[in-house]
């Protein structure tokens, strides 16, 4: 998988979405950004774009970008802005016109957020909503230490799937592995600290634009998905409708 998943609309929802949304899902490492973005993308027929998955794809494929970034990822440091912004810009520009998307893991710095605003304005486009998932730190470490991901399709496994999981992915048969940045408590702590240090200005930025919604991410995966869909339904009433 290359970090972009074009999700077909789920059956039963029908063609109820009259416009394509452009969303950001943010939150600390382990808050469930990836899990929720994938679930929502499946429901609303949007692209799920995860900058972390894109970077991991480059690492696995040993591209020159992969070589440049692997030191940052392994230590839990952010990849420099100029690399991240250029990669995201390429991906967004490769989407079909008007295609909706859910950004997972971008922006991580205020500079990324501002560059993204400029990119959207230049394309006469705009962000519809930013969802920020809040989970207390002690739960995050537990989730990250338990997480496994499929080496082939990047599907995420964890405690929410009911405890034990197989050695191989139920989706594609790929081998389940631990992420290199989930294997060491110090690296996990470093990633959490980075988020705490850098996220506040981003949250303020989107709050000022009136498009930020905070969601309690401590419930079950389904409960959190339902809470996010409620926000989407109430924000886009008349433009969209949801089954939940
Ligand atoms: P990235 O891949 O984005 O990692 P992250 O932000 O650390 O977030 P995670 O993927 O760890 O967590 P998540 O919130 O997606 O949680 P998940 O759904 O998997 O980034 C990795 C690295 O890439 C960065 O450190 C950096 O180096 C680089 N990078 C990426 N983007 C960048 C950017 N914009 N700028 C610069 N560098 C960048 O869930 C976690 C676990 O919990 C899973 O096991 C899941 O099954 C479980 N779970 C989920 N929801 C629940 C629930 N409600 N209850 C119980 N368990 C749950």
What pLDDT is stored for residue 66 in this prediction? 96
What pLDDT is stored for residue 154 in this prediction? 84
Is residue 33 part of the annotated active site? The answer reads: yes
221 ligand 1 Cβ < 6 A: yes
The atom of ligand 1 lying closest to the CA of 108 is: 34
CA–CA separation, 187 vs 75, rounded Å?
Answer: 6
What pLDDT is stored for residue 244 in this prediction? 46
What pLDDT is stored for residue 2 in this prediction? 58
Count Cβ atoms below 10 Å from residue 96 Cβ, excluding itself. Answer: 8
**C-alpha of residue 193 to centroid of ligand 1, in Å:** 14
**C-alpha distances out from residue 169 to 129, 148, 192, Å:** 32, 10, 27
Ranges under pLDDT 50 in the chain: 1, 8-18, 162, 243-244
**C-alpha of residue 166 to centroid of ligand 1, in Å:** 21
CA–CA separation, 78 vs 195, rounded Å?
Answer: 10
27 ligand 1 Cβ < 6 A: yes
Torsion of CA 6, 11, 13, 19, to 10 degrees: 30
- Which residue's CA is minimally distant from atom 49 of ligand 1? 32
Cα–Cα nearest to 47, from 56, 38, 35, 55: 38
The atom of ligand 1 lying closest to the CA of 219 is: 53
What pLDDT is stored for residue 124 in this prediction? 87
What pLDDT is stored for residue 205 in this prediction? 98
- Render pLDDT for 9-36 as a digit per residue (tens, 0 to 9): 443 333 334 458 899 999 999 999 999 9
By most ligand atoms within 8 Å of CB, the mutation choice from 29, 40, 184, 223 for ligand 1 is 29
What pLDDT is stored for residue 193 in this prediction? 96
């Amino acid at each position: 998988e290359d970090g972009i998943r074009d999700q077909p609309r789920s059956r039963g929802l029908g063609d109820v979405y009259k416009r394509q949304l452009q969303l950001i899902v943010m939150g600390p490492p382990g808050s469930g950004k990836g899990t929720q973005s994938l679930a929502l993308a499946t429901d609303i027929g949007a692209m799920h774009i995860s900058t972390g998955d894109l970077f991991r794809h480059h690492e696995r494929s040993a591209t020159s970008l992969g070589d440049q970034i692997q030191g940052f990822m392994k230590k839990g440091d952010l990849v420099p802005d100029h690399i991240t912004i250029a990669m995201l810009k390429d991906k967004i520009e490769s989407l079909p016109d008007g295609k909706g998307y859910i950004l997972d893991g971008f922006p991580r710095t205020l500079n990324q957020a501002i560059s993204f605003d400029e990119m959207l304005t230049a394309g006469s486009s705009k962000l519809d909503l930013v969802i920020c998932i809040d989970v207390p730190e002690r739960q995050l470490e537990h989730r990250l230490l338990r997480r496994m991901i499929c080496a082939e399709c990047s599907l995420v496994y964890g405690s929410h799937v009911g405890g034990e999981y197989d050695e191989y992915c139920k989706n594609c048969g790929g081998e389940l592995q631990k992420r290199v940045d989930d294997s060491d408590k110090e690296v996990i702590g470093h990633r959490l600290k980075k988020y705490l240090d850098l996220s506040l200005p981003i949250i303020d930025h989107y709050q000022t634009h009136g498009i930020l919604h905070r969601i309690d991410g401590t419930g079950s995966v389904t409960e959190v998905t339902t809470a996010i869909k409620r926000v989407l339904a109430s924000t886009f009433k008349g433009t969209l409708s949801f089954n939940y």
